[in-house]
Amino acid sequence: MSSVTVIGESLVDVVSDSAHPGGSPLNVAVGLARLGHDVQFYTEFGIDPYGMQIAAHLNQAGVLVAPGSITQRSTSVAQVQMDEHSNAHYTFDIHQQIPEVRAVEGNQLLHTGSIAAWIEPSGERIVEAFSQATDRTLRSYDPNLRPDLVEDKEVTLQRIELLMSLSHIVKLSDVDGQWLYPDLEPWQVLEHVASLGPALAVMTQGGDGCLALASGQRYDIAAFPTTVADSIGAGDAFMSGLLYGVLARPQLAQSLRSEAPAATADVEDALRYALISAALTVAQPGANPPWLEEFTRAIKN
């Protein structure tokens, strides 16, 4: 399996007074580790009960917490309210002082996303890591926006587009696309994102599956059938499934790094893996991405 570095926030999602480890980058790190990859995670959480809950969750999945990630400050919290359609809505108390990201020999993937990528001081640390990554490292990014935390949309958009330009893979939701580019239709959003540099631009559409653009070719893939318990962590499980699919096909990963044309079948398989991972996650309460055995069974069916 591949060596992966993930950078971003850790927090707990508090749903009906019950706390669950979360944060988009944490969920992706856990998802990739559960699928068998060696994952190192640069983040911040405290030594309080919430932080120890996060530490146990990461340890159970096999995620290595980078030195300096555990601090004396309180752990970030997201209060979650579920609506009548089982969609999650968040209120945040978040801070992130991510430690310096050290180059890892043989690291094949660098991933970031969400809040820590555009708040400070974590945002500058993440941009630095992406800017200094070698050409051999595949870079992926998921804006995973939380508009209620945005103080200056123009500044936030500049940071998001900078990270898009430094990435080979960008995944955003249809809601992200509407907030970032309200005057553009979904395919226009993907075309704009691709124009910034990413070789693979993907937009999730909830129960309608996903759209993607790679090597100028459009993909429109239907969602994998499932019964929805809630939507918490769905986009993150999609991301970890997508990255698993790319890493499982070295030729596809190389194409994305070099901007060479990607094989249609490889892109379709990676997107299908992403949708299966998301479907398995929404079938259970909370951000609970699949383990490799469950994921492999679903792929074969």
Assign 94 a pLDDT band (cuts: 50, 70, 90): confident
Unique residue bearing structure tokens 């309608």: 208
Task: Give me the mean pLDDT over the 47-70 stretch.
Answer: 96
pLDDT score at 252? 95
- pTM across the whole model: 0.93
pLDDT score at 251? 95
Q: Is residue 157's pLDDT more than 80? A: yes
* Mean of per-residue pLDDT scores for the chain: 91
User: Residue 271: which of 173, 204, 215 has the closest Cα?
Assistant: 204
User: Residue 83 burial by CB count (10 A; 0-12/13-18/19+): exposed, middle or buried?
Assistant: exposed
pLDDT score at 283? 78
pLDDT score at 2? 85
Distance, CA of 214 to CA of 41 (rounded, Å): 28
Residue 285 lies in a domain: yes
Token pair belonging to 205: 């559409």
Q: Per mean pLDDT, which range of 49-63, 111-125, 287-301 is the poorest? A: 287-301
Residue 57 lies in a domain: yes
Residue 300 lies in a domain: no
Assign 1 a pLDDT band (cuts: 50, 70, 90): confident
Residue 269 lies in a domain: yes
User: Residue 236 burial by CB count (10 A; 0-12/13-18/19+): exposed, middle or buried?
Assistant: buried
Q: Each residue of 65-85: pLDDT tens digit?
A: 999 999 999 999 988 776 666
pLDDT score at 82? 67
Query: Structurally, how many domains does the chain consist of?
Result: 1
| CATH at 126 | 3.40.1190.20
Task: Give me the mean pLDDT over the 182-196 stretch.
Answer: 97
Q: Is residue 169's pLDDT more than 90? A: yes
Distance, CA of 116 to CA of 35 (rounded, Å): 24
Q: Is residue 54's pLDDT more than 80? A: yes
Domain containing residue 114: 3-295
Residue 301 lies in a domain: no
Angle formed by the axes of helices 250-258 and 264-282, nearest 10°: 110
- Which residues is 21 bridged to in the sheet? 12
Residue 275 lies in a domain: yes
pLDDT score at 34? 97
